[in-house]
Amino acid sequence: MIDPEALAWTVGLLAIAVSNPASDRHFTLFWPQWVFGIQSPGYGLGHSIGYLFRGDLASSLDSHWLGIPAVVALSYRIMNLQARKTRARKV
């Protein structure tokens, strides 16, 4: 059985991995950008992760410096959730 949160994070990372990081189009829920044109602090994070999945470390770091730590943290979270689910199932 797959943990629902782990599945959601995995699907999210895979969606970013298959998207085109060089695209100028992006989606945001950061409303100050819509209203005032202020960029969010996470602007470029998705591009950074996309470049990272393509092995382009320089572009990944250039897009957003937190791309690599985000992938590491999310991967850890996915593995931790799934391990917890697996241990609970064995009991």
CB 66 within 8 A of CB 41: no
As a whole number of angstroms, the distance between CA 4 and CA 14 comes to: 15
For each of the chain's 91 residues, which pLDDT tens digit applies? 889 999 999 999 999 999 999 887 777 788 898 899 888 898 899 999 999 999 999 999 999 999 999 999 999 999 999 999 988 887 6
Nearest CA-CA partner of 44 in 33, 60, 32, 58: 60
pTM: 0.85
The confidence score (pLDDT) of residue 81 equals: 96
